[in-house]
Structure 1
Amino acid sequence: MVSNNQLFHLFLFLCFFQITCLHAQLCTQEQSSALLQFKQQFSFNNDASYNCAHYGIHSYPKMESWKEDSDCCSWDGVECDNNTSQVIGLDLSCSWLNGTIHPNTTIFYYFPHLQSLNLAFNDFGMSRISSEFSRFTRLTHLNLSDSSFSGKVPIEVSFLSNLVSLDLSSNYDLRLEEPGFELLVQNLTKVRELNLRYVNISSVVSNSLLNLTSLTLLDLSFCGLRGKFPDGIFHLPHLNELRIWYNLALTGYFPEFINSSSPLQYLDLSYINFSGELPDSIGNLKSLKFLRASYCKFYGSIPTSLGNLTEMTYLGIEYNNFTGMLPSSLSNLGNLIYLVVEGNNFEGKIADFLPNVKSLLYLYVGSNSFSGPFPSFGANLTKLVELGLSNIQLRGPLPSQIIGLPNLTWLSLDDNLINGTIPSWVFSLPALEYFNLSNNKLTGYVKEFKSAHLIIVDLSNNNLHGRFPSSTFKLVNLSSLILSSNNFSGELDMLCHAISIQILVLSSNSFNGSIPQCLGNFNRYFFILDLRKNNFSGTIPDTFAKENGFETINLDSNGFEGPVPKSLENCKTLQVLDLGRNKFSDKFPYWLGNLTWLQVLILRSNKFHGPIPNSKFKIPFPRLRVMDLSNNNFTGPLPRKYFKNLNAMMNVDEASFQLTYLGMLGGSTYYYNDCLTIVIKGSTIEMVKVLTIFTVIDLSKNNFEGQIPQIIGKLNSIRGLNLSHNSLTGHIPASLANLTMLEWLDLSSNKLTGEIPQQLKNLKSLEVLNLSRNQLVGPIPQGNQFDTFLNGSYIDNLALCGLPLLNACSPRTPQPPPLMFQQEDNTSSGFNWEVILPGYICGLAWGLVMGYFMFFRGKAQWLVRIIEGERNKSGKRFKKQSHRNRAR
């Protein structure tokens, strides 16, 4: 039985609970309406929060739960004060928001008590950060990271003096201009976490950072900082994480840590201009778990005190100038998971170096001066997931047996001196995904791989032979297969099984047969097809599907024949097309001019024939940098319209041009450089890497005729021009003097007449010149590069004179220099009245005299006979020419 006293207490509790709930739940009507209006600015798209998965955060549209007839304090992502019912927190991170935040949006005006605002991982369409954020005067946490904000960070953000955490990171078009950074650091004296990664600051590091004594996290990576980094920041009393990586103009040294009280756990100094030695006092950083100091200028030996950092899980010091032996004390790092020391000058036998650390999962020691045979792994390293031993002079064969590495997914042994056959245990690794044995001296056959997880296989530049196992092509994850420069043989019928292939490089082998019809049906992620230097034959399947992803198709030096497949026009992302040294027989495939990404077109040494027609496209080949049509049977005039529109060969500002190599448009899983065989300065050269500023036109060894068009002078960024062994006539155009980047010019074996333009001596980059076997006359230009050319540049011409030839030039009346390059579109009249006027006056006087005789004296019989005689001769010539035309 329940007593009356108990019932009374229960009644009081229920009343109190009801009053409390009524008081705590209902938010104000204006705040509810303001939030609903804010919701209406956006659509929901899961791609807007794509990066959340990378950080292990679940994304979903939180705002979908917001309903007009419910209490906003119960809405997902909304936090209210229990006493006042005021909204004090908004967490809309990873909420699929897609839209623009307007400067006058409602949330700036109805939430004066807001303490926390998190809009991270959305897509606000390059919205500007509004100065109205300064209205949130009680704000302690502001997170706008990775949400596509852009423009200048307003100074008003620095007025939020109560901020404890500020994160503006990963907004790649955001900038913090002076004095914004200085004001921000000076005013946010309470801040504990400051993350400005990828915000463009581009200034000297502010010493005011030293006043932020509450800092626990500071991330200034990718900020464009410069000057000397203050040592004192390392010693801030509560600093736990310091990330300043990728500030290439930032200088400094690794500081001394005299005592062991530093709380630093995470330190990333990569890709900055720090130098000097690592101090022995680094051993005092007892709390340090993560140290990355890669791609800097550190030098000297590694202090043994590094072995005192027993909490260390990550040590990355790759690509510095460290020397000597790695200390054996590294074996004391019992928690070490990740060790990367590649790209230094460490020495000694690799077997003596490997640390005895059971926890180690990732080990990269490549590109050092280690030596010796492949190490025998003890039981302590059987947990390895990734092993990189590239370029450390490993010698001898791989061991025939090894203790199992059941977890190994990455094995990189490339660029060593390993010989013998590949042992069975390598093919039996059950979890292998990445396998690179390239650039060794391996022989024998390749066996069947047991791992179904293989993604990348690179066996290039060895002496392997036989048929490659067709089962490899059936692996559903295989994306890159590099077998170049071996002696593999067989046909490509197994290619149709490679459903995930992105890069296929089989060059310089003995593969044969034809290309299967399935080639053009591959998915849009097939980027690279390199079959050059094999024994393939037959025609190319005309089956290239729309929206395919090919970026490079290189079929050089095979036996392919027939026409160029018209379906190549569907390869909209194609950058490199090399069909050279085959047996193709076709007219010029003008429709390739519509491939706007095409940079290289090589058709050399085939059976192409006929004239090159005018393009039907407004701007054909806008990105073409290499055009090699040499050694074919092309006829007719040179393709003037193409020269006019080769924009990638005009006005290239190399000072601001990023020096990259020809490669892929999209992101593949393996790095690939295009390799081209080009005639450069008279020699056939195989370019294993081709800079994107490399530009050349080779139309030699054809039957082109007519004059060299003046318009070619617009290609002022071209490096090489070869028009030799044709039937070109007329003068050498003076407009060639505009080709200021030209390094070689070959116009030999044509029918060119006239003098060598004196303006060509201004080509100060010219290294090779060949004008031989023409009909040139007059003086050879003197000075600059022309003083370096020998007799061979000018032999077999009619009457050239001057050095380096023995026959001297006779004195003559100076002639005015020919006109420099002019447009050929007749946009201006081009008259020179100073030259024309005297002739005009003489002609007028002659006409008046003859008119007097004809009008007053009758016909001048002698003149009539001359004119009528010439008319009769002209008519006879016209009739003969008409008969010839009909006969054709």
Structure 2
Amino acid sequence: MVSNNQLFHLFSFLCFFQITCLHAQLCTQEQTSALLQFKQQFSFNNDAAYGNCDSVGIHSYPKMESWKEGSDCCSWDGVECDNNTSQVIGLDLSCSWLNGTIHPNSTIFSCFPHLQRLNLAFNDFGMSRISSECSRFTRLTHLNLSASNFSGKVPIEVSFLSKLVSLDLSYNDGLRLEEPGFELLVQNLTKVRELNLYDVNISSVVSNSLLNLTSLTLLDLTACELFGKFPDGIFHLPHLNVLSIHDNLALTGYFPELINSSSPLQYLGLSYTNFSGKLPDSIGNLKSLKTLGADFCNFYGSIPTSLGNLTEMTYLFIGYNYFTGMLPSSLSNLGNLVSLAVEFNDFEGKIADFLPNVKSLLYLSVDSNSFSGPFPSLGANLTKLVELGLSNNQLRGPLPSQIIGLPNLALLSLANNLINGTIPSWVFSLPAVKYFNLSNNKLTGHVKDFKSTNLIIVDLSNNNLHGRFPSSTFKLMKLSSLILSSNNFSGELDMLCHAISLKILVLSSNGFNGSIPQCLGNFSIYFSVLDLRKNNFSGTIPDTFVKENSFKTINLDSNGFEGPVPKSLENCKMLQVLDLGHNKFSDKFPYWLENLTSLQVLILRSNKFHGPVPNSKFKFPFPNLRVMDLSTNYFTGPLPRNFFKNLNAMMNVDEASFELKYLGMPSGRSPYYYSDCLTIVIKGSTMEMVKVLTIFIAIDLSKNNFEGEIPQIIGKLNSIQGLNLSHNSLTGHIPASLGNLTMLEWLDLSSNKLTGEIPQQLRNLKFLEVLNLSRNQLIGSIPQGKQFDTFLNDSYIDNLALCGPPLLNACHPRTSQPPPLMFQQEDNTSSGFNWEVILPGYICGLVWGLVMGYFMFSRGKPQWLVRIIEGERNKSGKRFKRYSHRNRAR
């Protein structure tokens, strides 16, 4: 039985313990004030998370809202205190909606000397610098500043935090670690277990000091601008679970020949580096490996069969390399495999020989290899497949008439194979398919209704499909891209108005007919590509293009459209390509197009446009135009001098620094894109450019009724590659300024009324391959040397006063420099004579003839005059015979 004295002592102890614990949890006033001052530096914004908190499983909310004056800071959300000393030892403000700047003299650096853990990840600190005052945190073991919009140089003081076991500075786009910061960091942080510098700009060779970090479990140096050889000894660190050096394009290295079978490595990321060589057999020793990312490297050779020993593997990415041979059948042992990507190599054999027979496989991509044989039997175990990419191989024969159900398949890509026959019903019955690509095969027959209502992209281009395309497809609410080009489809487009989400519609090279429905311009503000070229469409273009639309390409080439160009096209502010060529449009020049600042290609070729091209009504017409084709119309008047003056995209293009890309191709690595195709005359031949480089620059104004002189200012377009002004009524001299067009590859000024000599400055055109100056009234010697030595007679025919090679008529001293006044034209006519010079001689000759005539008739025929006249007649006949003979020889 407990005595009263014992109860008293027990009660006293419990009271003392409670008071001690309460005192231990009370935050000091200094730390409370410091935290409240720190809070005042920020606002709370639920969009302030610079990264995605959900992706790392962290709940996002404003933790600081619970911080109130007069309450114990140790009870505040995100604050951790030591139970014995009441000192703040941990601050976790990750995903706290913080928006603002951390000042270098912030109270957080001066008032928390006992801080051990600091986590400010997933906030927005507005490009704040990491303060050198962080060196005060001498007891810090965990520092996480990831994805919080820090910038600038990482202070060298971070390397003084020698007790750090975890350092995470990842996902801050503007951070850089300059020399010798990286070297000091890995030398001093000898206890570090997790080192994450993802996207920190190090720009250095990988330090060998990393080999001394024997406690490392995670090393992430992704996208750090590293270069040089990566030390393969890191593969042997005894506790390393995660090694990621993705996206260091200048980083070289080899997979080590010997890998310890006790390695705990689970994640190995080498993608987008210059790692090369063969995968060694010892890769099979990495029994714990779950993810191998080795795509976009320079690996070559065959795949070792030991890869099948990695039974824990879930993700295997080895695409975009130089692997050859057959994939080993041992891959079927990878029972946990979720994703297998081997695209863009040179693997061969039959897909069924290595296809993993596993229920877990979701993603299979073997695109762009040399696999052959029939379409593989997928087997009953692959019913979970979400993506199946077999494009760009040599699969032959028809698709199987029946196949095991694929209820989850969202992507089916069989493009660029040799598949023939009709499309079986099971293909159209896939219930979940979103991306559907059977393009560039030999498929025939009709297209049936799709069962899936989730279709986003349908590409059936370049086959032999025919008949009417099912109108129900246009009614799919999510359909974004429909590409049916180069088939034999027919019918009208009345159902087009139902495609409310359509962005890309490509129906080129088919037999579609009828008119374009009135809904064209307003049924979707997201519509970006309309390609109807080479069909049988007719009628007028609806004048219904709404404001703020997203059209980038409108290609109506080779149809039967007529009438005027719709004025509402001026609402297409994002338009880059407008091709109305080879139709029946009848209109004056649509001057309002000049204000489309994004327009790069304008083709009005082979229509019935007429009248002059007026002076621009805008200050800067066509600022980004690179291709202008107004040929084969009825334009009159002078050449559009104002356009030449303001075509800035044709001037001073530095091809060396210009990003080479194609019109219509989006950025990124998406396999779904639209590439603009143009039909244009290049170097005298009509060509179809399936892909058009954005640096392609040309002007074609041929086959019109333009007149007057060629403006000197055209010489400012020094990046132009092709200039065709042929078959007009141009007069005057060839401007010497054309010699400034140093990138010119073809120049056609034929079939005009040009006079004068060929400017010697044209010898500067070192890239000129085709020159046509024929059928003009040019005179004098042809320039010699450089590119002019490559041109034949055809370049100069029907210019009777030209001389010198390659023509047979040589230039004589007395005729090589004809009297300049005799052939100058002051009135811009086609005459070639100056009557002010000739008239005095004409009058003198007339008087002399009258006098001689008087003597002849009054005194009979003087014998001396008869001898003179007869002699000249004989000489004239001989000259005529020689001239005729020379012409026949030519």
TM-score (norm 1): 0.87
2:479 is aligned to: 478
Match of 1:158 in 2: 159
Q: Distance in 2 between matches of 1:538 and 1:598?
A: 25
Give the superposition deviation at 1:758: 0.8
- 1:727 aligns with 729
Contact 2:193/2:217 (<8 A) preserved: yes
Match of 1:398 in 2: 399
Select between 302-311 and 540-549 the one with higher mean Cα deviation: 540-549
Choose from 739, 746, 749 the match for 2:748: 746
Mapped partners of 1:421, 1:649: distance in 2: 48
Structure 1 position 38, deviation (Å)? 4.1
Which has the higher Rg, Structure 1 or Structure 2? 2
Distance, in Å, in 1 between the alignment partners of 2:64 and 2:710 is 68
| Equivalent position of 2:607 in the other structure | 606
Q: How far does residue 388 in structure 1 lie from its aligned partner after superposition? A: 1.3
In the alignment, the residues of structure 2 paired with residue 171 and residue 564 of structure 1 have an alpha-carbon distance, to the nearest angstrom, of 50
Deviation at residue 203 of structure 1 after TM alignment: 2.3
- Map 1:304-343 → 2, pairs under 5 A: 304-343=305-344
Distance 1:249 1:118, change over 3 A: same
Residue 294 (str. 1) matches residue 295 (str. 2)? yes
SS of residue in 1 equivalent to 2:283: helix
Separation (CA, whole Å) in 2 of partners of 1:248 and 1:273: 6
Root-mean-square deviation (Å): 2.6
Do 1:351 and 1:376's aligned partners in 2 also have CA atoms closer than 8 Å? yes
Confirm or deny: 8 A CA contact 1:479 1:669 kept in the other structure.
Answer: no
Q: Deviations over 1:293-340 (max 9, x none)?
A: 112221221111111111111111112222222211111111111111
The offset of 1:692, in angstroms, is 1.5
Q: How does 1:522-671 map to 2 (within 5 A)?
A: 522-663=523-664, 670-671=672-673
Q: Which runs of 5 or more residues in structure 2 are unaligned?
A: 821-890
Q: Judging changes above 3 Å, is the alpha-carbon distance between structure 1 residues 757 and 400 closer, same or farther for their aligned structure 2 residues?
A: same
Confirm whether residue 194 of structure 1 aligns to residue 200 of structure 2. no
The CA deviation at 1:50 is 6.0
Amino acid of the residue matched to residue 738 of structure 1? N
Question: Which of 704, 717, 720 does residue 718 from structure 1 map onto?
Answer: 720
> Is the Cα–Cα contact under 8 Å of residues 34 and 108 in structure 2 kept in the other structure?
no
Cα pair distance change 1:539/1:14, threshold 3 Å: farther
Supply the distance in 2 between the matched residues of 1:53 and 1:544 (Cα, whole angstroms). Answer: 41
Contact preservation (8 Å) 2:435, 2:458: yes
Cα displacement (A) at 1:768? 1.0
Report the Cα distance in structure 2 between the residues aligned to 1:2 and 1:762, rounded to whole angstroms.
115
TM-score using structure 2 length: 0.87
Question: Which residue does the alignment assign to 1:228?
Answer: 229
Kindly state the Cα deviation for residue 3 of structure 1 after the two structures are TM-superposed: 10
Q: Which string of whole-angstrom CA distances, capped at 9 and with x for unpartnered residues, describes residues 473-510 of structure 1?
A: 22222222111111112222222222222222111112
Relative to structure 1, the CA distance from residue 641 to residue 170 in structure 2 (aligned partners, 3 Å threshold; closer, same or farther) is farther
Alignment match, 1:26: 27
Shift in Å at residue 48 of structure 1?
A: 4.5
Aligned equivalents of 2:165, 2:96: Cα separation in 1: 24
The answer for the alignment partner of 1:251 in structure 2 is 252
Cα distance change on mapping 1:761 and 1:666 into 2, 3 Å: closer
Amino acid at match of 2:501: S
Q: Report deviation, 1:49.
A: 4.2
The structure-2 alpha-carbon separation of the partners of 1:371 and 1:517, relative to structure 1 and needing over 3 Å to count, comes to same
Shift of 1:354: 2.0
- 1:415–1:438 Cα contact (<8 Å) kept: yes
Corresponding letter in the other structure for 2:77:
D
Matching residue's letter, 2:332: S
Q: Offset at 1:666? A: 7.9
Once the two structures are superposed, residues 442-491 of structure 1 have per-residue CA deviations (whole angstroms, 9 ceiling, x without a partner) of 11111111112222111111111112112222222222211111111222
SS at match of 1:248: strand
Provide the C-alpha distance between the structure 2 equivalents of 1:150 and 1:620, rounded to a whole number of angstroms: 41
Shift of 1:806: 0.9
Task: Report the secondary structure of 1:307's partner residue.
Answer: helix
CA shift in 2, pair 1:547/1:111, >3 Å: farther
Larger displacement relative to structure 2 (249-258 or 764-773): 249-258
Q: Distance in 2 between matches of 1:2 and 1:569?
A: 98
For the 8 Å contact 1:257–1:285, the answer to whether it is kept is: no
CA deviation digits over 1:43-76, x for unaligned, max 9?
A: 5152654633444544333334444454443333
Quick check: 2:531–2:554 contact (8 Å CA) kept in 1? yes
Which position in structure 2 is the counterpart of 1:673?
675
Classify the secondary structure of the residue corresponding to 1:656.
coil
Q: CA deviation at 1:395?
A: 1.0
- Measured in 2, the distance between the counterparts of 1:494 and 1:805 equals 62
- Which whole-Å deviations, capped at 9, do the CAs of 1:492-549 have from their partners, x for residues lacking one? 2222222222222111112222222222224443222222222222222222222222
- C-alpha spacing 1:620/1:257, structure 2 compared with 1 (3 Å): same
Partner of 1:518: 519
Shift of 1:702: 1.9
Q: SS of the counterpart of 2:121?
A: coil
User: 2: CA distance between counterparts of 1:696 and 1:606?
Assistant: 19
> Which residue is equivalent to 1:756?
758
Aligned residues: 816
Q: Is the 8 A contact 1:49 1:59 kept in 2?
A: no
CA contact (8 A) 1:559 1:582 kept: yes
- In the other structure, the counterpart of 1:685 is 687
Partner of 1:865: none
Residue 702 of structure 1 is matched in structure 2 by 704
> One-letter code of the match for 1:320?
N
* Cα distance change, pair 773–74 in 1 and its aligned pair in 2 (3 A): farther
Mapped partners of 1:532, 1:607: distance in 2: 18
Distance in 1 (CA, whole Å) between partners of 2:503 and 2:788 is: 49
Question: How far is the alpha carbon of 1:116 from its aligned partner?
Answer: 2.6
User: Structure 2 vs 1, CA of residues 622 and 111 (structure 1 numbering), >3 Å: closer, same or farther?
Assistant: farther
Instruction: Tell me by how many angstroms 1:757 deviates.
Output: 1.1
The residue that corresponds to 2:75 in the other structure is 74
Q: Counterparts of 1:742 and 1:220 in 2: how far apart (Å)? A: 47
- 1:461 matched to which residue of 2? 462
Q: How does 1:434-445 map to 2 (within 5 A)?
A: 434-445=435-446
Q: 1:382 to 1:796 in 2, by over 3 A?
A: same
Task: Supply the distance in 2 between the matched residues of 1:546 and 1:66 (Cα, whole angstroms).
Answer: 50
Structure 1: state its 5+ residue gaps: 819-888
1:719-868 aligned at under 5 Å gives the runs 719-811=721-813
Distance in 1, matches of 2:389 and 2:102, equals 47
Cα distance between partner residues in 1 of 2:542 and 2:671: 27
* C-alpha separation in 2, matches of 1:3 and 1:387: 81
Closer, same or farther in 2 for the Cα pair 1:757/1:476, shift >3 Å?
A: same
In structure 2, what is the Cα distance between the partners aligned to 1:120 and 1:616? 54
Q: How does 1:23-62 map to 2 (within 5 A)?
A: 23-29=24-30, 31-46=32-47, 48-49=49-50, 51-62=52-63
How do 1:282-431 and structure 2 match up within 5 A?
Answer: 282-431=283-432
Matched letter for residue 372 of structure 1: G
8 Å Cα contact 2:42/2:98 also seen in 1: no
Judge conservation of contact 1:275–1:296 (CA < 8 Å) in 2.
yes
SS in 1 for 2:766: coil
1:611-634, Cα deviation, whole Å (9 max, x unpaired)? 223333332222222222222222
* Structure 1 equivalent of residue 500 of structure 2: 499
CA distance in 1, matches of 2:520, 2:47: 34
**1:208 shift after superposition:** 1.9
Is 123-132 or 569-578 further displaced after alignment? 123-132
Write the distance in 2 (CA, Å) between the matches of 1:580 and 1:144: 57
Q: What letter is aligned with 1:568?
A: L
Q: Deviations over 1:776-821 (max 9, x none)?
A: 1111111111111111111112411111111111236999xx9xxx
2:826 corresponds to which residue? none
How far 1:280 sits from its partner (Å)?
0.8
Q: The residue matched to 1:46 in structure 2 has which SS?
A: coil
Residue type of the partner of 2:725?
L
Q: How far, CA to CA, are the matches of 1:494 and 1:3 in structure 2? A: 96
Q: Distance in 1 between matches of 2:461 and 2:647?
A: 36
3-state secondary structure, aligned to 2:753: coil
Residues 578 and 93 of structure 1: CA distance in aligned 2, closer, same or farther (over 3 Å): farther
- CA drift of 1:135 comes to 3.5
Contact 1:42 1:100 in 2 (8 A): no
1:810-848 Cα shifts (integer Å, max 9, x gaps): 236999xx9xxxxxxxxxxxxxxxxxxxxxxxxxxxxxx
Query: Could you tell me whether the CA contact under 8 Å between 1:638 and 1:708 is conserved in 2?
Result: yes
Deviation sequence 1:634-661 (CA, Å, 0-9, x none)? 2222222222222222222222222111
